[in-house]
Structure 1
Amino acid sequence: MRTDHSDMTHYELLVLAVSLELAAAKWKVALHDGRRDNPAVHTVAEPQAASRLQAVLTLIGQHKEKWALPANVRVVVSYEAGQDAFWIFRALQARGIECHVVDPGSIPVERHKRRAKTDRLDAVKLVINLRAWLRGERGRTRVIRVPSPQDEASRHLMRDRGQLQKEVLQHRDRMRKLLVTLGCWDEVDSRKFAGRLARGELRCHDGAPLPVELHERLVRECARLTLAEQQLAALEKTRQSSLPEPARERIAHLTRLSGTGPVGGSRLALQLFWRQFTNRCQVGACVGLAPQPYDSGESQVDQGISKTGQPTGACAAHRDGGPGSATNP
């Protein structure tokens, strides 16, 4: 009985941990089963995403056979959150492989001024931290929550809106500064500005017409400004109707709060509250409003809030009078 229990415990703890160090040209794949000193590290450099992912699955199958692992051994894959987002997570989950996406800033690193850093070393460190996390050492790394495909797609609405607003302000500011160089202080925010520019009514400080090159550049800037304004107006018309019903319900609940309008409610619902929070501390930590005390030896300093997490959610919380808006340093 004792031997059977020991064998069962060993089987339950047997895990093939895999880490992916992602890059555009190639991936580093580190594999470790917990029974050897150093993990195996390989490089996959297939040109297409599907073939590169299949190469990773092939490596997993080969090491199962090479290390005499059971066919149904638990396989856990991890990679750092980055520009590849969550398609790898969903592809592996669809194939029945457990996958975790980790916060890059939560991985401990050496504090030497000069330290070796390569993709190979990063992959090895990631797989070692993954095994420690699976053993229950939650402080070794932090796993992030992955949104559903619909929640991730809905975020593009508010992000595109913010980008278009930024482009509109940039075009206007650029035209204003170009005119100021010649002493022309005409208001570029007026709807009549484009017509006056087309008719050649703008003048320098001495009454001379604008140089031809500057005039042509301003015309091109006006055309780009008009396009951005048209896209922004079209997005505003379809913003609410294009959202799924759960998102509209979340926005409706948030807009009942004092000081939260439709835009602020949409930003909070799509960027922040697709997650499930159990207390207010989790909300504060997610938007970077958690305190960061420094208490070491005789030194005690209040460093303010962390300002990490979701910047858009934090901006909306501050703008709408949310928690910490009056105390943020």
Structure 2
Amino acid sequence: MKLAANGIRIEVEDSGGEGRPVVLLIMGLGMQLIAWPDEFVRALIDAGFRVVRHDNRDIGLSQGFDHAGAGNLVWQSVRHRMGLPVRSVYSLQDMADDALGVLDVLGIRRAHVVGASMGGMIAQRLAVAAPQRAASLVSIMSSSGARNLPGPRPDVAAALMRRPASRTEAALLAHSLRVARLIASPAYPQDERTLTERITRGLRRAYRPAGIVRQMLAIGADSGRHALLGRISSPTLVLHGDADPLVPIACGHDTARRISGARFVSVPGMGHDLPPLVCDILLQHIIPFMQTAEKRA
């Protein structure tokens, strides 16, 4: 369903029914709400939670910002490396306000906020800005955004900057599969057919390359978040794979170090994806953590 929230149109999936504690799932860069595996969502519902997912602005079926232009990613990347401010059409705080707007429209006062990758950054922003709304915070394969942290492995960074050979579905699929294989969890390989079907489903639902660029610029522009993480008062769980080639595990360690009382869990052999066995491991930590936070509320 599409909701009017924070002044824009946002696509939302609301599962599990009212009257349950709420989990708000926030996905990462360029990823749609369907990138949360169905089994992951079902496990949360089976554990007694109501699950709310949404397409972040500029991605999936939510409102786009094509009228603002895509921006010059290469030039802004140079500015970032030089320590100069990155210019972006909108901010990660705007995206956190979108998530809060979704909760407002649905009449949800508090939610357990779970974010993956860029979604973890947005979740951190939400927990800083509206601590009374975050029953708990779970940051998965994400970062504090501090400038001294390591970046992606060179081949991964190059793949992210490379364009598909064409706009045909076959070329887009081939490009997406190359990136997915590069960032995959080495200890938990995904079935090739399942991975292909999942990527194809996403491409057919929506393909928004300019939105991905604008989201990348929003990440680059978010230079001060690390200094604010000490304000987070919500119970916090930080989960990170020790084989993550896109957001190295040092980024997760730094996030947990900056949030008082945060619990850090390293997942051996996990990269930057959510294959079934990785989801099982994450849920073994996330569900009891949120249940405990719910009892203490």
TM-score range, shorter chain: under 0.3
TM-score (norm 1): 0.20
TM-score (norm 2): 0.22
